[in-house]
Amino acid sequence: MDTIHKTLTDFGLTKNETVVYLEAIKHTEISPFKLAKLTGIPRTTVYDVMTSLALKGLITLKTSQGLEKQQSWIVPKNPSVLRETIFKRRKELTRLEVDVVDILLDLKKDFLPHENNAAIQFYPGKEGIKRAYELLRNIPHDVQMYYFDHMMSMDTLGKEYINKEVSQSLKNRGVKKRVKTLMHLNDWTRHVLTYQYGRNKSYIDYHEYRYIENPIFELHHDMFVFLDKVITIVGKDDELWASILTSSQVAASYVSIFQMLWQIAQPVTEKFVLSLGENEFLKEEKRKKLSDPGETCSTLR
């Protein structure tokens, strides 16, 4: 019975309408007086409920005349009318939806803000990229970030600048969320992983790295997605620029793409990095430093 009451309520009947309707369908026809007696609902209220149920198409009201005293009778319709009503509503709602779509453009002209709530800034050259990195440094620690990392070469912005950025990131890793980071695995990214891990084993701790080893999946720039921001950093071949896009819709789309790829990507663990072998470039740097104490070990990717 609870299911019946809930379903009729969802259909649009009030509590009193449900009680009266369920009693009425037990009879071929029934008077308001008898309904009031059987349901315990005041007769004046029953009259109001009768009218409402009739308007909803669930009952028919019949008036007796002639030798009898004029009196209204409730004649319930077959309960199948409930489903028929739903079909009718569905058609009416579909027609209404078409009409609403036709007027939405005009309505939105008055509703939507006159100023854009999305924006994009373009920053050319090395200084533009540095400006983007400056914004990234100031993101609150509790903000979740999603990072597409193509592992930019350190010579793009200069060894000194990049070294400072990497060192500061590793230093702060204890107070920040690990950045979820996706990378494509190829010869270059293998080199970067083994080189940076060889310099500082904490390199794989700050980022929660996962990799995809598939020639179809390629990254040629870095992209950071957080809140309603998408920061793009390009530093490859003859392209050197950054952009900051503010758009909750675009950010949400990229987060969705990231999370889908994240599910099929493999985690970068210490065991995995060690399985790639020793980095020959780093090995040569160390040998050179030992042979020439005055030479500072470079940190070029």
CA 252 to chain centre: 5
- Please state the domain extents for the chain: 2-79, 119-291
Cα 89 from Cα 157, distance rounded (Å): 64
Please calculate the CA angle 72-73-74 and round it to the nearest 5 degrees.
130
Cα 75 from Cα 59, distance rounded (Å): 6
- 203 within 8 A of 233, measured Cβ to Cβ: no
Provide CB contacts within 8 A for 251, sequence distance 6+: 225, 226, 227, 228, 229, 230, 245
Cα 271 from Cα 252, distance rounded (Å): 33
Q: How many residues does the chain have?
A: 301
Domain 119-291 in the same topology as domain 2-79: no
Q: What is the pLDDT along the chain (301 residues), one digit of tens a residue?
A: 689 999 999 999 999 999 999 999 999 999 999 999 999 999 999 999 999 999 999 999 988 765 555 578 999 999 999 999 999 999 999 999 999 999 998 888 887 766 677 899 999 998 999 899 888 888 888 899 999 999 887 777 766 666 566 666 656 555 556 789 999 999 999 998 898 888 888 888 878 999 999 999 999 999 999 999 999 999 888 899 999 999 999 999 999 999 999 999 999 999 999 999 988 888 888 888 887 765 554 444 5
Q: Dihedral of CA 208/211/216/222: which sign?
A: positive
Cα 52 from Cα 58, distance rounded (Å): 9
CATH number of 119-291: 3.30.870.10
CATH number of 2-79: 1.10.10.10
* H helix intervals, the chain: 2-11, 15-24, 32-39, 43-55, 81-111, 125-137, 159-171, 187-199, 203-206, 248-264, 270-275, 280-291
- 148 within 8 A of 265, measured Cβ to Cβ: no
Output the pLDDT for position 203: 81
CA 37 to chain centre: 55
DSSP state letters, 76-141: EPPTTHHHHHHHHHHHHHHHHHHHHHHHHHHHHHHHS-SS-S-EEEEEEHHHHHHHHHHHHHTS-T
